[in-house]
Structure 1
Amino acid sequence: MTPDPLLRISALTKSYAGVVVLKNVSFSVPRASIVGLIGENGAGKSTLIQCVNGVTRPDSGSILFDGREITPVTIASALKHGIVTIPQEFNLADPMTVSENVFLGHELKKHGFLDCSAMRRRTRELLEELHCNISADAEVSALRIAEKQIVEIARAINRECRLLIMDEPSTVLNPPEVENLFRIMRAMRERGVSLLYVSHKLSEVKEICDTVAVLRDGEFISENPASELTVKEMANRLVGRELNRIFPPKTGREGSGVPALSLENLSHGKRVRGVSLELHKGEILGLAGLGGAGRTELAETVYGIRARTGGSVKIDGMEKDIRSPAEAVAAGIAYLTEDRQKSGIIQSFPLARNLSLISLKKYCSGPFIRHKKEEQSARGYMERFRIKTPSAMAPVRELSGGNQQKGAIAKSLDADPGIFLFDEPTRGIDIHSRGEIYRFIHSLAEAGMACLVISSDLEELIGLCPRVAVMREGALAGVLEGEHINEKEIMYLAAGVQ
């Protein structure tokens, strides 16, 4: 007899402002299993997660956990039952230490006072169990993305979670970090924990998941053993049609003239060490490297977020002393950050207000902002990028991740740059939206823009870029072209393997 599933969702429906985002959804998560949840941006995955973890309440339907209905589902009741979520944008307190984050809200006390030594000791045990050598006393703000994720997992284990929901956990992890994540997930499954794994990386879903559930336009489509599905079948199910080639043909650069961007021995302390690199008009140059290699730091130094401690930056052959993002924008540089939630867009602002943030001057008449012109421009970008939103004045927080990313790109383009630095441009984006962004980057290059694409997704770099530069420990390890752009050679350079 098959045991009851740990989680059973029945006929779940949810609407926002009259728009149905979940339509009679029913599916289950077996005990001690890893279930993949896939779907395009806007398919309803985030809303489904929020109904399960108590962030929002469904309009109708039921949620049974361990055979009993949870009524009502609140954040507190979900945690009490052992339902823990690790969101795509981590829910950690950066100024606090690792142990303080692990026990946040569940602090240990002794004689009425915080028992800091006991919390540090237990945190060290958890980190050792996860084969992680970060210090329990380290400040979370100093950790890499992969390390922050392990802190989230340690916190979940400490809360004795029975169902761990992971939202896009591998989006900015390199292959060794993904393998370590999968090792941890398998170990948790062996201990009896169930995991709901939400991801757009279908090859990873097939590798790590026991079963795969598909959502499309708010409706449940199917749930099958992962072993019975190919990656192509999963992709076709989530979009409801046959997918064409996701990558456009590779574009070349415009001749061998003066580079659009030239870095000569560029340095920022120990994070960026003497990098010399050229980016030409009409080129899409990839930038690869393991976590902590200095890729984001290099982009931030070029963009004036980080102070340059050595070397030079030339734009169209002219040396520029860029000390702030405002100066970078004035010099014709756009930068799409890897974290759109913190520094890419303002969630509470309407889409139209977000798109004009960098280029507000062109919408002003004296001291006044011409809002009609601003909204008209936003509607143009909505059509150009196929941004799905009720209106240009809808708050960005109501948009799906893919549409938010399109908005962030449009915001940077509104300043008319000649150089575009993309940092993880398809992080957390579904396969269809990724294809749209790839084609748009390709169209920018064809129009003469110089594009630098930083990515942890090697398939992305291989499929999109005619040249790929690789960084290691803050320095440039090499540049690959043509048939040499493959996972093996990229990883050899990134890891320093001869």
Structure 2
Amino acid sequence: MEPNQAKSNALGAAVGQKNTTVHDEVWKKAHPVVLEMKNITKAFPGVKALDGVSLNVRAGSVHALMGENGAGKSTLMKCLFGVYSKDDGTILFDGKEINFKNSKEALENGVAMVHQELNQALKRNVMDNIWLGRYPTRHGIVSEKEMYEGTKAVFDKLEIDVNPKTVMSTMPVAERQMVEIAKAVSFNSKVIVFDEPTSSLTEEEVEHLFKIINMLRDNNVAIIYISHKMDEILRISDEITVMRDGQWVATEVVEDMDMNKIIKLMVGRELTNRFPPKDNKVEKEVSLEVEGLSGLYSHLRDVTFNAHKGEILGVAGLDGAGRTELLETIFGYATRKDGTIKLHGKEVKINNPRQAVKNGFALLTEERRATGIFGILDIRNNTTIANLKNYTKMGILSDVQMKADTEWSINAMRIKTPNQQTKISTLSGGNQQKVILGRWLLTQPEILLLDEPTRGIDVGAKYEIYELISELAKQGKTIMMVSSEMPELLGVCNRILVMSGGRLAGEVDADNTSQEEIMTLAAKYV
């Protein structure tokens, strides 16, 4: 049963009927406020991240939190969860004031958070990650039996099919995400924060997640759901709060909201088009030729295609189809077994990323936190790190040139930051992505490989990324772009390759195809 449908049925209202004031009041009485955040303020050097933000979350409900990247959504939740210490304001949980000093204290007191960027012990197995910091013991010795049984019980409850003894690093991102959700549930939390939970999930996995969320809501758990995917928000949530520039903008029941209203509240203006005009000129000249490409350690096999100068070439497929493996093998990050790669008709030797960069290739990875950013370094170092040879004279780095190039990147990518010395880890996900894109542009690549370039980015920032991609294509660069969002591929790309089971299932003209045709090809070798 749909969330809003369940809510309406419980009140004896017709499905799809608009809320009345009476409806609202009855529902609110049945779902009392369990978490109250009042006038929360948080500042970092040079920027006020939160400016008097208030939020009320009700038991047995899903409260969506929306806003552009940098609006303060994750910062607000980190103040709740004990990751950050708020500068001012009050947090009431079950009517009592709280100030969690760390995430462990928050978890032990009934507040859990599933972070957008997973931070897991990848060399340990699943059950180690579930019970880290609270291992069950017998006579002072960790009981692996209890860990296994406890993990299995949670997985069975949530219908998660994962072996508790599997090492985390061997699992795809989607499965690791479900493990993190199971960990939050295992604490029997009263409030669970989901920060962009579907950014790496397939449609089938999203349905599974929604089933879990509905189950938690039925058990009177309060859910705070952060997402940029408006169709999901309108489907799963009961109330929606919109933030902008660190401030509260509005809180509405979901029945009173639609996509256009949410966008206007988020960006402060009408956004009539989701995608910029597709006016890049695809030239006859073939810039990239890939023939018979197979991976040594992946299931990628016998992939052949070409890409033209000035073309935006999409890569579609289901999770595990080999999309990421294709880009990583071209870039030399994953080991090639067979196949040739040609640039402007000449075969190029690419056995590692260093050779790829030397030959004019750049790769924007899917997991920016794990393989993209250098979290402990500032924006300048993150921007210039792939291009250090150009700043070195007689073994000495030119700080002047690094500063100038970083300033160019900040302006060209429209990066929101106090200054170049700001740690990249303090930026929003969208701004981190722009820093990485600027980094690669400084290497002056001919072939840009983009793996989920707008993952976890809001609608306004997405449009800016699309504009940048289009502009790069107009400059004659060749773009290969993996995306799990079909409308994005259709709206941005000229042509789309469809991967299935590690093989190329076909290619389609983005302007003369449909989602149904792409999905049919995606299932060809499954």
TM-score (norm 2): 0.91
Q: Which residue of 2 aligns with 1:299?
A: 327
Q: Which residue of 1 aligns with 2:178?
A: 150
CA shift, 1:74, in A, is: 3.7
Matched, 1:446 2:474: yes
Alignment of 1:126-165 (within 5 A): 126-165=154-193
Find the partner of 1:486 among 514, 523, 526. 514
Tell me the distance in 2 between the aligned counterparts of 1:201 and 1:239.
15
Tell me if the contact between 1:4 and 1:66 (Cα under 8 Å) persists in the aligned partners: no
CA shift, 1:482, in A, is: 4.2
Matched, 1:267 2:294: yes
Q: Which residue of 1 aligns with 2:369?
A: 341
Alignment of 1:360-379 (within 5 A): 360-379=388-407
For the residue of structure 2 that corresponds to 1:359, the secondary structure is: helix
CA shift, 1:289, in A, is: 1.2
Q: Which residue of 1 aligns with 2:459?
A: 431
For the residue of structure 2 that corresponds to 1:356, the secondary structure is: helix
CA shift, 1:343, in A, is: 1.8
Would the alpha carbon gap of residues 148 and 72 (structure 1) be closer, same or farther in structure 2, given more than 3 Å must change? closer
Tell me the distance in 2 between the aligned counterparts of 1:193 and 1:352.
43
Matched, 1:28 2:56: yes
Tell me if the contact between 1:425 and 1:453 (Cα under 8 Å) persists in the aligned partners: yes
CA shift, 1:99, in A, is: 1.3
Matched, 1:469 2:493: no
Would the alpha carbon gap of residues 252 and 385 (structure 1) be closer, same or farther in structure 2, given more than 3 Å must change? closer
Tell me if the contact between 1:15 and 1:22 (Cα under 8 Å) persists in the aligned partners: yes
Aligned residues: 497
Alignment of 1:32-431 (within 5 A): 32-71=60-99, 74-251=102-279, 254-257=282-285, 259-269=286-296, 270-431=298-459
Q: Which runs of 5+ in 2 are unaligned?
A: 1-25
Tell me if the contact between 1:52 and 1:73 (Cα under 8 Å) persists in the aligned partners: no
What's the CA shift string for 1:371-397, capped at 9, x where partnerless? 011101111111111111122222212
Q: Specify the code of the residue in structure 2 equivalent to 1:64.
A: L
CA shift, 1:247, in A, is: 0.8
What's the CA shift string for 1:298-327, capped at 9, x where partnerless? 111100111110111111111122111010
For the residue of structure 1 that corresponds to 2:386, the secondary structure is: coil
Tell me the distance in 2 between the aligned counterparts of 1:213 and 1:491.
34
For the residue of structure 2 that corresponds to 1:9, the secondary structure is: strand
CA shift, 1:72, in A, is: 5.1
CA shift, 1:272, in A, is: 0.7
Tell me if the contact between 1:271 and 1:473 (Cα under 8 Å) persists in the aligned partners: yes
Tell me if the contact between 1:51 and 1:73 (Cα under 8 Å) persists in the aligned partners: no
Deviating above 4 A after TM superposition, structure 1's stretches of 4 or more consecutive aligned residues are none
Tell me if the contact between 1:251 and 1:283 (Cα under 8 Å) persists in the aligned partners: no
Q: Specify the code of the residue in structure 2 equivalent to 1:457.
A: E
Tell me if the contact between 2:490 and 2:511 (Cα under 8 Å) persists in the aligned partners: no
Q: Which runs of 5+ in 1 are unaligned?
A: none
Tell me the distance in 1 between the aligned counterparts of 2:294 and 2:436.
28
Tell me the distance in 1 between the aligned counterparts of 2:446 and 2:416.
27
Tell me the distance in 2 between the aligned counterparts of 1:51 and 1:271.
43
Tell me the distance in 2 between the aligned counterparts of 1:316 and 1:224.
55
Q: Specify the code of the residue in structure 1 equivalent to 2:246.
A: G
Tell me the distance in 2 between the aligned counterparts of 1:462 and 1:254.
16
Tell me if the contact between 1:168 and 1:428 (Cα under 8 Å) persists in the aligned partners: yes
Tell me the distance in 2 between the aligned counterparts of 1:290 and 1:125.
29
CA shift, 1:460, in A, is: 1.0
Tell me if the contact between 2:100 and 2:106 (Cα under 8 Å) persists in the aligned partners: no
Tell me the distance in 2 between the aligned counterparts of 1:71 and 1:427.
32
For the residue of structure 1 that corresponds to 2:302, the secondary structure is: strand
Tell me if the contact between 1:268 and 1:310 (Cα under 8 Å) persists in the aligned partners: yes
In angstroms, what is the RMSD of aligned CA positions?
Answer: 1.7
For the residue of structure 1 that corresponds to 2:465, the secondary structure is: helix
Tell me if the contact between 1:172 and 1:424 (Cα under 8 Å) persists in the aligned partners: no
Tell me the distance in 2 between the aligned counterparts of 1:74 and 1:306.
38
Tell me if the contact between 2:80 and 2:99 (Cα under 8 Å) persists in the aligned partners: no
For the residue of structure 2 that corresponds to 1:223, the secondary structure is: strand
Find the partner of 1:459 among 487, 501, 504. 487
For the residue of structure 2 that corresponds to 1:272, the secondary structure is: coil
Q: Specify the code of the residue in structure 2 equivalent to 1:227.
A: E
Would the alpha carbon gap of residues 449 and 71 (structure 1) be closer, same or farther in structure 2, given more than 3 Å must change? closer
Matched, 1:13 2:41: yes
Q: Which residue of 1 aligns with 2:16?
A: none
Tell me if the contact between 2:361 and 2:449 (Cα under 8 Å) persists in the aligned partners: yes
Tell me whether 129-138 or 373-382 shows the greater mean CA deviation.
129-138
Tell me if the contact between 2:68 and 2:266 (Cα under 8 Å) persists in the aligned partners: yes
Tell me the distance in 1 between the aligned counterparts of 2:279 and 2:121.
43
Tell me the distance in 1 between the aligned counterparts of 2:166 and 2:100.
38
Tell me whether 170-179 or 401-410 shows the greater mean CA deviation.
170-179
Identity percentage over the alignment?
Answer: 38
Tell me the distance in 1 between the aligned counterparts of 2:512 and 2:132.
47
Q: Specify the code of the residue in structure 2 equivalent to 1:30.
A: R
Tell me the distance in 2 between the aligned counterparts of 1:71 and 1:136.
33
What's the CA shift string for 1:162-216, capped at 9, x where partnerless? 1111111111222222222112211221122111111111121111111110111
CA shift, 1:486, in A, is: 2.6
CA shift, 1:104, in A, is: 1.2
CA shift, 1:291, in A, is: 1.2
Tell me whether 68-77 or 356-365 shows the greater mean CA deviation.
68-77
Tell me the distance in 2 between the aligned counterparts of 1:322 and 1:352.
28
Tell me the distance in 2 between the aligned counterparts of 1:91 and 1:54.
16
CA shift, 1:71, in A, is: 3.8
Q: Which residue of 1 aligns with 2:523?
A: 495
